[in-house]
Structure 1
Amino acid sequence: MNRSLTKTIYLFALFNLCCFSAKGQNTTDATQSGSMPFPKGEKIESANFTGSAWLHMLVSSDTTFNTSIGNVTFEKGARTNWHYHPGGQLLLVTSGKGRYGEKGKTVRELKKGDVIKCTPNTIHWHGAAPDSELSHIAIGTNLSKGAVVWMEPVSDEEYKMK
């Protein structure tokens, strides 16, 4: 076999070995993370949550985009306190099941693919269902209008689907 052909076969074999090895590794990583599109992030240490939740910031607030974007993951039954955003908030559910409540309205069940539009100053809460984790992308909009205003915890009675 000539030297050029041997070199080509060697490079082809090395290329395939690297590709198949990387492909297997990505599959394992996706399986271990539950096929979540973004990292779970750091555990949130705050009195504004009932139960455990994690945050991975994707875009931090800046003057160019006037928004913040984070991936938030709630353990089963975890939820935010009542709160509102002076500039509004968008929630894009990426996995699991959850709940969303607004003052004076029936609690809404959330599932993957749901989009919630929290208009400015709407008092609300969101979190996981009792039997499922929930992950969503939280987009803080019009941040120049002010930071989130946190209120009291959501009671177990308020959390229940009515």
Structure 2
Amino acid sequence: MHITRNRPDTQRGPSAHFNGTVWLDEIAAPEPPSRLRMFSVHFAPGGHTSWHTHPHGQVLHVTEGEGLVQRRGGPVETIRAGDTVWIEPDEWHWHGASPRTFMTHLAVVEAAADGSTIHWHTDARVAEYPAS
């Protein structure tokens, strides 16, 4: 067992991959052989990711607020505190806060053998994000 008492400082989501104000807290990154990674991601109103995929999929669990998520070719879905989303491996998607509310979610992924957890596919502008 290992208890993490001090985590890395909160990081701003890079503008190359996030639109608006987004903050990331690394919650868990255990030593190998585990490849689990967990983050708490805080989106200001209108903040969202660009289109991306995860090699082994992703679980999102909304802890506060209201957000949006969309898979390529699907409708924009509203997600709220208590909702859990499973995103399939290599499924193109984006997610973030709704235009008028904050949203925080836990994001859980398994790293690939090379250590990668995410593949970004476009810049931070998502044409499908609704206007406020």
The structure-2 alpha-carbon separation of the partners of 1:154 and 1:47, relative to structure 1 and needing over 3 Å to count, comes to: closer
1:159 match: secondary structure: coil
Q: TM-score w.r.t. structure 2 length? A: 0.83
Q: Higher strand share goes to which structure?
A: 2
Higher RCO, Cα 8 Å, sep 6+: 2
Residue in structure 1 matched with residue 20 of structure 2 by the alignment: 51
Decide whether the 8 Å contact of 1:61 with 1:143 is kept in 2. no
Q: Distance in 2 between matches of 1:46 and 1:138?
A: 19
How is 1:23-38 mapped onto 2 (pairs within 5 angstroms)? none
Q: 1:46 Cα shift?
A: 3.6
Deviating 4+ runs (over 6 angstroms): none
Q: Distance in 2 between matches of 1:139 and 1:58?
A: 10
Structure 2 residue runs without a partner (length 5+): 1-8
Q: 1:147 Cα shift?
A: 3.1
Residue in structure 2 matched with residue 128 of structure 1 by the alignment: 97
Residue in structure 1 matched with residue 4 of structure 2 by the alignment: none
How is 1:12-91 mapped onto 2 (pairs within 5 angstroms)? 41-60=10-29, 62-91=31-60
Deviates more, 1:57-66 or 1:90-99: 57-66
CA RMSD of aligned residues (A): 2.1
Structure 1 residue runs without a partner (length 5+): 1-39
Identity %: 30
Q: TM-score w.r.t. structure 1 length? A: 0.68
Q: Distance in 2 between matches of 1:138 and 1:59?
A: 10
1:117 match: secondary structure: strand
Structure 1 residue corresponding to 2:76, chosen from 107, 118, 135: 107
1:144 match: secondary structure: coil
Q: Higher helix share goes to which structure?
A: 1
When Rg is computed on C-alpha atoms for both structures, the one with the higher figure is 1
1:149 aligns with 2:119: yes
